């Protein structure tokens, strides 16, 4: 059985196939016509303008996001610079505190040495004064002992050398000496 063939335009050669046609248009022509109609509808419905507006909105949105990101970056850089300055200030403050503490420690050490020297000097003076006081007390004790011994010796000598007659003469002289004053 033979296949039915569509009527084709022009003569067919033995190796060539004829393309079907409708209203005188071949399939590639119908595809081109359909594309022209679709493009005409898109233009008539202003789809390219809507796509352009949508793209413009998206571009504006991206620009706003970029501007916001730039502002955030600048703010972050400012914060970073601020914290770097604060860190540097804190470090210099720490160094100053260490230096002040070192200076105060040196002052305290010097004061402690001065106080220790003064205490040693005071204790030395106190020891010297105590020694001097002990010395004076010993000298006073010796004087008292010597005076007591001299008084006893004098009493002994006087009692051995004086008799009642000499005593009477001494008492009379002493009374006469009292009357002259």
Q: pLDDT tens per residue, the chain (181 residues)? A: 444 444 444 445 555 677 777 788 888 888 999 999 988 887 787 777 788 889 999 999 999 999 999 999 999 999 999 999 999 999 999 999 999 999 999 999 999 999 999 999 999 999 999 998 988 998 898 888 888 888 888 888 877 777 777 778 878 888 888 877 6
Q: In Å, how far from its chain's centre is CA 32?
A: 79
**Within-domain flag for 181:** no
**Within-domain flag for 4:** no
Which residue(s) pair with 22 in the sheet? 25
**Within-domain flag for 87:** yes
The model's pLDDT over 129-159, given as tens digits with 9 standing for 90+, comes to 999 898 899 889 888 888 888 888 888 887 7
Domain that holds residue 89: 27-164
- Could you tell me if 20 and 27 are in contact, meaning their C-beta atoms sit under 8 angstroms apart? yes
Q: How many domains does the chain have?
A: 1
The model's pLDDT over 45-63, given as tens digits with 9 standing for 90+, comes to 777 778 888 999 999 999 9
State how far the Cα of 47 lies from the Cα of 53, in Å rounded to an integer.
10
**Within-domain flag for 71:** yes
- Could you tell me if 13 and 25 are in contact, meaning their C-beta atoms sit under 8 angstroms apart? no
């Amino acid at each position: 059985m033979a296949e039915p063939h569509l009527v084709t335009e022009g003569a067919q050669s033995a190796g060539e196939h004829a393309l079907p046609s409708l209203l005188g248009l071949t399939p590639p022509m119908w595809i081109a016509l359909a594309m022209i109609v679709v493009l005409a509808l898109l233009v008539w419905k202003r789809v390219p303008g809507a796509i352009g507006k949508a793209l413009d909105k998206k571009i504006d949105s991206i620009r706003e996001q970029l501007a916001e990101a730039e502002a955030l970056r600048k703010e972050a850089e400012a914060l970073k610079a601020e914290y770097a300055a604060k860190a540097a200030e804190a470090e210099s403050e720490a160094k100053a505190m260490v230096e002040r503490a070192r200076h105060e420690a040196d002052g305290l050490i010097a004061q402690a040495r001065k106080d220790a020297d003064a205490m040693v000097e005071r204790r030395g003076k106190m020891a010297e004064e105590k020694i001097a006081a002990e010395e004076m007390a010993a000298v006073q004790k010796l004087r008292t002992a010597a005076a007591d011994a001299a008084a006893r010796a004098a009493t002994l000598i006087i009692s051995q050398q004086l008799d009642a007659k000499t005593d009477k003469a001494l008492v009379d002289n002493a009374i006469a000496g009292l009357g002259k004053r």
